[in-house]
Amino acid sequence: MRTENGKIENRTTLTEYLQLHGMWVGDCTVTHGAHLQLHGTITGDLTVGKGSTATVHGMVSGHLTAIGRVEVAGMVVGRATGGGLTVARGAHVGR
């Protein structure tokens, strides 16, 4: 597991286990076998692919597509779609 507290730029895919307390600038795709634990912000869309997982405690400014397993306990500003999506009580999912 890697923990990032700063800003991630010029990257579109996640291929590892990452705990993010900082900011991911742009869109993020979590690939097969990877996991994202988001406590910070993604400024674009988040796509969680088949065989991957994510937990959103922070904020996704764009849309969320949950092909893999995703738990939202924080906020998604845009649409959230997909069969692997769970929204916790008190979480906010827009549009």
Q: Which residues span the domain enclosing 23?
A: 2-88
Report which secondary-structure segment, H or E, holds 95.
Answer: none
Within-domain flag for 82: yes
Within-domain flag for 70: yes
Within-domain flag for 95: no
| pLDDT tens-digit map of 12-59 | 999 999 999 999 999 999 999 999 999 999 999 999 999 999 999 999
Within-domain flag for 39: yes
Considering its fold, how many domains does the chain have in total? 1
**Amino acid 39: pLDDT:** 97
- Read off the pLDDT band of 11 (50, 70, 90): confident
Within-domain flag for 58: yes
Within-domain flag for 11: yes
**pTM across the whole model:** 0.95
User: How far is the C-alpha of 82 from the C-alpha of 24, rounded, in Å?
Assistant: 22
Within-domain flag for 60: yes
66 or 94, higher pLDDT: 66
87 and 80 in contact (C-beta within 8 Å)? yes
